[in-house]
Chains A and B, each alone.
Chain A
Amino acid sequence: MSTELWIAVIACAIGTLLMRVIPFLWMQRRLNSDTGINNMPQWLGILGPLMIAAVLGVSIMPVNPSAIAWIATAIGLSVTLAVWTRLRSLGWPVAAGVAVFGLVQMAAYI
């Protein structure tokens, strides 16, 4: 890589790091100030869970979209939800969902 390209990489790295660090430190200082925890804006508390929902929506898109991939996704998500409803944990629902998703994909290949 040329020097210019290294500078571009470092600029992107520093910029991305600052976008992660500065708002965090700003909010921590604000929360630790005399005004206390109630000072956190309500919209931030709403936007956090919605960002996770958005990441879910983006990740639902199969790697290679096809009818089988969409069916496998629907079945995999249903199984994940069913296992979560029963166990209310993170690990087993994910393992069950991935296993069923993989089985449906494999069945389609056979």
Chain B
Amino acid sequence: MSQPARHTPIRSTVKGVREAIPLLGGYIPVSLSFGLVATQAGFSTWEAAAISALIYAGASQFLFVGMVAAGSPLWLVVAMTLLINVRHVVYGPNLASWLPPSRHWPWLMHGLTDQVFALALTRLPQLSAPERFSWFMGASLLAWGVWIVGTVVGATAGETLTARWPLLGEVMPFALPALFLTMVAPRFTDKRWALAMGCTILSALLFTLYGWSNVAIPLAAACGALCFYIVKFQTGARTL
């Protein structure tokens, strides 16, 4: 009889909030930077916050304000912003089997960023079915809220903060690779997956090093998928 008490929506939401905290190590410095860059590009604090609240996609927001500041035609700004976000098309279908039907998804899917997707794909299968909706809501709303607040702080006090604690801006983003490593590590038990994952990580890093950071995620994933389908181990290999 005590079973339902353990899965109250509030507890699951708090669990989602707690487990999304490591994401903030990456969100805070980037949102501070975006606020700073947006104000330097001529946007007001609340306009920068509106961009963060409405578009809510890191790389494309930087591209948006950069292209607007450079005087690019608006149709091209919109096209490039959407092109960068095309990778999000794959995220929703991967989570679909883990999340219950709800009329709230059209709004909650707004919070499906790279980081929230990675966390959700790892954690949702480990949660009980009644917990998943509230967990996703807690995790995604925390990330979204911090992103907006970070933008406002960056727009109003970005220069002061980065000047006072320059090391903070370098150390905090390391929470992201550390978090993703803990998510990817369990896949390395299988030779075929290990090779595909290794190929993906390496190619994503190389694409980023050579300045292709905007297309690195889909291209690297495609390289890894190619590797997964082409290379097959004869002995001791397990398939998906």
Contacts and interface: CB of A to CB of B under 8 A. Distances in A.
A22 B105 CA distance: 10
Contacts of A4: 74
User: Main secondary structure on chain A at its contact with chain B?
Assistant: helix
A62 B225 contact: no
A67 B105 CA distance: 45
A64 B170 CA distance: 7
B182 A51 contact: no
Contacts of B93: 23-24, 26-27, 40, 44
A12 B177 contact: no
B97 A50 contact: no
B159 interface: no
Given A23-B89, A46-B228, A12 B64 contact: yes
Contacts of B25: 94, 98
Chain B contact-residue range equals 35 or more
Contacts of B176: 55, 59
Contacts of B96: 24, 27-28, 30-31, 40
Given A21-B109, A84-B182, A102 B171 contact: yes
Contacts, number: 274
B224 A54 contact: yes
B182 A93 contact: yes
B173 A59 contact: yes
A19 B170 contact: no
B178 A93 contact: yes
Contacts of A42: 240
B22 A53 contact: no
A-B pairs with the 7 shortest C-beta distances?
Answer: A57-B204, A24-B92, A97-B178, A27-B96, A56-B180, A13-B54, A48-B94
A49 B68 CA distance: 34
Interface string B196-240: 110011111101110001001110110011001000000000001
A81 B181 contact: yes
A4 B221 CA distance: 36
Interface string A1-20: 10011011111110111011
A54 B221 contact: yes
7 contacts: A15-B78, A21-B106, A24-B112, A49-B187, A52-B121, A56-B183, A80-B181
